[in-house]
């Protein structure tokens, strides 16, 4: 029986990118979410919809159905003054910012000089295929 929209789903999972573990169920407790309302990536939901309680699967979600393809135009150079309130600003730091629509987004500092900061508005996993191991723990 397919999982239904708004149904509470509990899964045990791990996700790897290029073989490296990047996320997973914490403390052996299932991850709980409402199906079909945008709480998890659509590419994962699409691939688990016909799974049953107790069923496990290895699933690859391509970048386009996960966090999107990497977009080089999402790199911006901003005046360093815009970062005056951030302590210990450094390359590689992930900070919260706003996109063009005023929505909160995570940005990554790519480069810093005396007058400018180069930031990347792409999600850290943009352009990456995600390899999941998923087990359906329960459907409520």
Q: What's the CATH code, domain 8-67+126-139?
A: 3.10.50.40
Percent of the chain whose predicted confidence (pLDDT) is above 90: 80
- Residues 83, 88, 91, 96, CA torsion sign: negative
Q: From residue 26, how far is each of 34, 38, 62 by CA, in Å?
A: 18, 20, 24
Q: How far apart (Å, rounded) are the C-alpha atoms in residues 97 and 94?
A: 10
Q: Does domain 72-120 have CATH number 3.40.190.290?
A: no
Residue 111: which of 90, 94, 88, 127 has the closest Cα? 90
Indicate the domain borders of the chain: 8-67+126-139, 72-120
Q: What is the mean pLDDT of residues 112-136?
A: 95
Give pLDDT, residue 137: 93
pLDDT tens per residue, range 39-68: 999 999 999 999 999 999 999 999 999 999
Angstrom distance (rounded) from CA 74 to CA 47: 29
User: Is the pLDDT confidence value at 89 over 80?
Assistant: yes
């Amino acid at each position: 029986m397919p999982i239904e929209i708004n149904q509470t789903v509990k899964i045990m999972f791990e996700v790897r990118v290029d073989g490296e573990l990047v996320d997973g169920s914490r403390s052996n407790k299932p991850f709980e979410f409402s199906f079909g309302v945008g709480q998890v990536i659509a590419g994962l939901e699409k691939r688990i919809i016909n799974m049953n309680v107790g069923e496990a699967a290895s699933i690859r979600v391509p970048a386009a159905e996960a966090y999107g393809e990497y977009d080089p135009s999402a790199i911006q150079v901003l005046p360093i003054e815009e970062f005056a309130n951030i302590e210990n600003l450094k390359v590689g730091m992930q900070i919260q910012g706003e996109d063009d629509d005023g929505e909160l987004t995570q940005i990554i500092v790519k480069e810093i000089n005396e007058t400018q900061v180069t930031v990347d508005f792409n999600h850290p996993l943009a352009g990456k295929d995600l390899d999941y191991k998923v087990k359906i723990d329960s459907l409520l």
